[in-house]
Chains A and B, each alone.
Chain A
């Protein structure tokens, strides 16, 4: 059985989405089984097309926000969604949606980016993540 890395994607800010996507890519390259559990604002960010207008930056680094976003654009860095897609191309990466957030906000699977494969509950996630590392972002 391969090693696992699970990411709880709670935040929906571009900086944290980028961090999650890059860690997922590295882990996929190093042959880990990667699960991204998107919940709360992380799930908001995965609503279809949301990435196009998402320019949110974590509050604690807000003063760097404009500069960070500007550099990403100027240097044509790939956006976080593309980075997750290429991680999926080269390795074993799954993105799962938190059932609670889906219910509270009446979001359906078809409202989300197609990289999200299924809706799961927290117990399923915990069970799947057991024996592996968990990162909370």
Chain B
């Protein structure tokens, strides 16, 4: 995700469902409005779970990218 400045990132690899989602929720809660936060998850389910939560909470999913090794970086903007 070029051009996006991530304010805070948490590496949740090694954490099991729903750990990475809980980490994303904590990050977003502690962030300021406008901040972009990211979680790196090695849990396959997170790729569906975290976007579903972002959608439900009406935040903005900036994107997902493979973050080597064995993790996906899921990026969210706290837009309200």
Contacts and interface: CB of A to CB of B under 8 A. Distances in A.
Q: Do A and B bind each other?
A: yes
User: Chain A interface mostly helix, strand, loop or mixed?
Assistant: helix
Given A30-B52, A30-B56, A31-B57, A90 B26 contact: yes
A39 interface: no
A29 B16 contact: no
Label chain B's interface by main secondary structure: helix
Interface residues of A, number: 15
Query: Counting chain B CB atoms within 10 Å of each CB, which of A29, A31, A89 scores highest?
Result: A29
Nearest to B24: A29
A54 interface: no
A102 interface: no
Contact of B56 (A31, A77, A87): A31
A25 B53 contact: no
A90 B22 contact: yes
A29 B25 contact: yes
